[in-house]
Structure 1
Amino acid sequence: MEVLRPGALTTVQDAGRPGYAHLGVPRSGALDAAAYALANRLVGNPPDAAVLETTLDGVGLRAGSAGAVTVAVTGAPCTVRVAGRPVAWGAPVRVPAGAELEVGRAESGVRSYVAVRGGFTVPPVLGSRSTDLLSGLGPAVPPGGAVLPVGPAGPDPVGGADVLPAPGAPAELVLPLRPGPRADWFGPASLAALWRSAYRVSPASNRIGLRTEAGTPLARARAGELPSEGMVLGAVQVPPDGMPVVFLADHPVTGGYPVIGVVPPGPALDAAAQARPGVPVRFVPSC
C-alpha cells in the first residue's frame, strides 16, 4: 500500500520486541494494545501482525495494483472513506486495487489503528516490525510516497466483532497505581497529594511517556540521586519538578529518577494511549 498522506505521526507497530531490555532495547509496540488486537482480529490476522498507528489526523493510503485488500480501522473513532465514499469504522472493509483509503481525524482519543489482511510486512528488527521512536530501531516513519509491503492472507477468516470497546478517551483518566519500588523516597504528605491531586495530561506527552501537569508537585523525602536502574512499562517516575510521568511503550530501559509506583498493563494504559492533552488524570491505589 502506498502512503499518500502520512499524517502528523504514523508508525508501523506490532506486539513489540520484549526480552531485549538487558541490551538497552525498549519493548515498543502498539500503545493501545486492545485496539491493536481488535484491528488484527477483524481482518483475520495473527495477533502479532504489524499495523499502522496514526496520531490525531489519520493517514491516507492507496491499495496496490495487485488486487483488493481488506482493512479495518480501530482505536480513536474517525471517518473512514474508500474511493471517496464513507465506509464503516471498526469493521472489515474491502479496498479495491488502486483505490484510496482515507482515515480521517480522530473525533476523540489520539491514536487509530489500521490493519490490513496479511499485515504490513516491513523487514523485522530483533523479531519485531515496530518503530521505536526513542532508540530509532525498526522501520522509519513512512513519508508520503512510501510503499508498505503487505503479506499473504493467513488461514483465519475475516470476521466481525461481537462487542467493540468503548471508543475514545474517558473524560477522566483514572490510573491504578501499585506503590513502589521507590515510594519510600516520598513522605506521607507527598503520597497523600498523589492520591488527591487532579493532574492533567501535558501536551509534552508522546509514545515514550504520558507527562502530567497542573497537580501538586511531589516532594522527595530524601536528598541525593539514585543510580540508574531498570524501568518497566507503566512505571511512574517523578523527575525533579515533582510531576509524575507514566512510561509508555517507547520508554527508556533505565532511569535515575525515583519510581513512586507502577500502573499495570491493561485497560488503564490503553486509555492513557488515547488521552488528549488537558484530560484530567487521577491516580488511585492498587494492590
Structure 2
Amino acid sequence: MLIFIERVGPLATVQDLGRPGWFDSGVGQAGAADRASLRLANRLVGNPEDHGAIEVLLGGLALRADAHLTVAVTGAPAPATVDGTPVGHASVLELDEGEVLRLGLASTGLRSYVAVRGGIDVAKVLGSRSRDTLSGIGPEPLHAGAQLPIGPPPRTLPTVEFAPQPVPPEVLTVRARPGPRADWFAEPEQLFRGSWVVSVDTDRIGARLDRVDGPPLVRARSRELPAEGVALGSVQVPPSGQPVVFLADHPITGGYPVVAVVLDADVDTVAQARPGQRLRFVPDL
C-alpha cells in the first residue's frame, strides 16, 4: 500500500522515536519533536508507539490513499477533512481508496502528527526512519508527488476512537533543573523570574527565547567554554543572552554554557510552542 503526497505546507518529514546510541559517532537521536503526540497517534491506529509517522509543521498537508487506510492526526490541532468532510482531531479515521486527507493551518501549537496503521515504511538509516534536519540523515522532507510505502498492519487493534487533548494555556509552564554551567552566570535563578517568548528563530534544532519581562541573564565569566556534550532540553545561552532550548535535532556538542536543563517530560511542550508563545520556567527541585 502507498500514500500519495499531493501537497505539503511549510515542512513535513517522516519521524519515529529516533536513533539513540550513535552519539559516539557524532550522530544525534533526532526523532519526533513532540514524542507524546507521535506515540498517541500510533496508539490510536493500533501501531507500536515507535512506528514511523508524518510530522507536519503548522499544517497544509494533503495525502491520498491508494487503498483503505486507518489514520489518526494528533499534536497541533490542524483542522482536517476527508474528501471535504470535516473529521475529528486525535480520533481514528478511515480512508477508502482514492480519498484525500487534508490538513488546514493549526490555530495553536506547531507540529501535527499523521499516523497510518502499519506505519510509514521507508528505509531505516542507522536504525531509524527519522529525518535529522541538522545532519541531513534520514529520508528527505516530503514534497508534492512523493509516495510513501505503508508497512503490514500489526496484530494489535485500535482500542479507543477518540483521545481528548487539553487546550494549551496562554503562558506555558516549563520545569527545569540547574544546568552543569549555572555557575557561569551572575544570577542563574533569573531564568526562573518573569517570562519569555518564543522567537521566530525556532526549528527542530532548538527554540530561541526572548525576554518579555524580568531581568536578563548576565554571565559571571567572560571566557568561552571548550566544546562539550549537550543533552535534549539543554538551555544554552550564547553571548546575546537569548536562551536556546535544544530540541530533537540539536547538536551533540556546544560551546556556550548550559544554565538549565528542561525536564524530559516538558520538552514536548516546548516543541509545540510556536513563535509568539509565552512561557515561564519553574525550578524542579
Q: Quick check: 1:20–1:26 contact (8 Å CA) kept in 2?
A: yes
Following the alignment from structure 2 to structure 1, what is the Cα–Cα distance between the partners of residues 217 and 86? Answer: 48
Aligned-partner Cα distance in 2 for 1:222–1:208? 26
Look up the match of 1:52: 54
Q: 1:1-287, aligned counterparts within 5 Å?
A: 1-64=3-66, 67-160=67-160, 163-167=163-167, 169-188=168-187, 191-215=188-212, 216-266=215-265, 268-287=266-285
Question: Alignment partner of 2:201: what SS?
Answer: coil
Name which of structure 1's ranges 107-116 and 193-202 shifts more when overlaid on structure 2. Answer: 193-202
Root-mean-square deviation (Å): 1.3
The structural deviation recorded for 1:58 is 3.2
Please, what TM-score do these two structures have when normalized by structure 2? 0.95
1:196 to partner: Cα distance: 1.2
What SS does the aligned partner of 1:70 have? Answer: strand
Structure 2 SS opposite 1:271: helix
Q: The residue matched to 2:250 in structure 1 has which SS?
A: coil
- One-letter code of the match for 1:271? T
What is the CA deviation profile of residues 16-40 of structure 1, one whole-angstrom value per residue up to 9, with x for unaligned ones?
0111111111111111111111100
Gaps of 5+ in 1: none
DSSP-derived class of the 2:202 partner: coil
Count the aligned residue pairs: 281
Q: TM-score, normalised by structure 1?
A: 0.94
AA aligned opposite 1:113: Y
Give CA-to-partner distance per residue, 1:153-188, whole Å, 9 cap, x none. Answer: 000012316753324x43112221110200010113
Greater strand content:
2
Equivalent-residue separation in structure 2 for 1:155 and 1:51 (angstroms): 18
CA contact under 8 A between 1:217 and 1:241: conserved in structure 2?
no
